[in-house]
Amino acid sequence: MKVELIEHTSNPEETVAKAARLCYSDKPTGDIEIKDVGKFVSKLAELGHYSPFEHASFTFAIDGISRACSHQLVRHRLASFSQRSQRYVSEDSFDYIVPESLIGCKDKYEKFMAYTADLYKWFVLNGVPKEDARYILPNATATNIIVTMNARSLLNFFKLRCCNRSQWEIRKLADSMYKECMKVAPLLFANAGPACVTGKCTEGKMTCGKPRINDIFGVNDNV
């Protein structure tokens, strides 16, 4: 899996602060100044005033995740997605993801993938359109996707997908996206992550009992 932040709003934290300040200012937008952006953004988060966060967007290039993972990713509706097409791009030598839980069965797993690849090739060679031959491809098939989300949507995404109870692959993806965001907008994402990071776990009886704290950065490795 490779995750790269390829584009983002210029000065995302200042943009968010100015958008919020505008709501209470009688000045033209070009004259709005924020003396302490960090303090202002922290106050917005403290008050739960997240609508200004929507003015900061982040675009990620994601390579080498499974279709199973991308299907979970696109459930986050307030985002834009552009994914490699299985209708137009041949999958005759498709890569695939191997979950750690299947390592003990790797021989059978790989044989199945090889059989599927051969059958896919046979279908295409015998006139089956790629858009129909793809029906036999497994959820493990690797894919590439470009995703754009605003900061508010990302906060919700991290809350759900950085949780220990999230499926391992999309949790790994969320962790990587979180790290990328922290490089360019640490103030906006200071309180990002699962609910246990800043308060009480929201999983109820399903809680894992092992809050992540800062282990995303390797500070508290309890996952």
CATH number of the domain residue 188 falls in: 3.30.1360.170
In this structure, the answer to whether residues 74 and 150 fall within a common structural domain is: yes
Q: Give the total number of structural domains in the chain.
A: 2
User: What residue type is assigned to position 206 of the chain?
Assistant: M
Stated pTM of the model: 0.90
Residue 198 domain-assigned (yes or no)? no
Q: Which of 161, 165, 171, 212 is catalytic?
A: 161
DSSP 201: -
Residue 72: predicted pLDDT: 97
User: Is 121 within a domain?
Assistant: yes
Asked whether the beta carbons of 99 and 167 are under 8 A apart, the reply is no
More confident residue, 202 or 192: 192
Residue 126 covered by a domain: yes
Is residue 202 situated within a structural domain?
no
Q: Do 73 and 154 sit in the same domain of this protein?
A: yes
Residue 165 annotated among the catalytic residues of the structure: no
Q: Could you tell me the residue range of the domain that residue 7 belongs to?
A: 2-81+143-193
Q: Is residue 169 part of a domain?
A: yes
Task: Give Cα 118 to chain centroid, integer Å.
Answer: 32
The answer to which of 21-30, 63-72, 121-130, 212-221 has the lowest mean pLDDT is 212-221
The pLDDT tens digits of the residues spanning 72-107 come to 999 998 999 999 999 999 999 999 999 999 989 999
Sheet harboring 57-66: ordered strands across?
Answer: 2-8, 57-66, 142-150, 79-83
How far is residue 69's CA from residue 35's CA, in Å, rounded to a whole number? 42
pLDDT per residue over 142-187, tens digit each? 999 999 999 999 999 999 999 988 999 999 999 999 999 999 999 9
